[in-house]
A = this chain, B = another copy of it.
Amino acid sequence: MENKYETNAKVFKALSDPNRLMIVEMLQSRERCACEILEDLNISQSTLSHHMKILCDSGLVGSRRHGKWMYYSLSKEGCDEAKNLLSEITTIWHNSNERDLRHEC
């Protein structure tokens, strides 16, 4: 079992690699076949497959098979969830009620 911090960290971990950010950028304009992504990045086929798995597992990217080819695209839902998550965790609470007491240093 995985706690919420580990779960959330996974989404950001998916975005914390330069090659994966390049892939995400490629997917903004349209879905892409794995072989097309492979052409643009300087990595091996097995490494690309590994990155695509991480992106898909994070929910940011979806995939569909068409014959021999795998097509990848940004997932609207996954991307929205990520945005909501980031928004939630970085919102600064200006609390008027003084429940949250100061620490004794």
Q: Copies per complex?
A: 2
State which of B21, B32, B79, B100 has its C-beta within 8 Å of the C-beta of A5: B21
Closest to A37 in B: B103
For residues 53 through 92 of chain A, which have their beta carbon under 8 Å from a beta carbon of chain B?
A: 60, 69, 74, 76, 79, 82-83, 86-87, 89-92
Residues of B within 8 A of A24 (CB): 89-90
A93 touches B18 (CB 8 A): no
Closest to A40 in B: B103
State which of B25, B69, B74, B105 has its C-beta within 8 Å of the C-beta of A105: B69
Most buried by B among A3, A8, A79, A105: A105
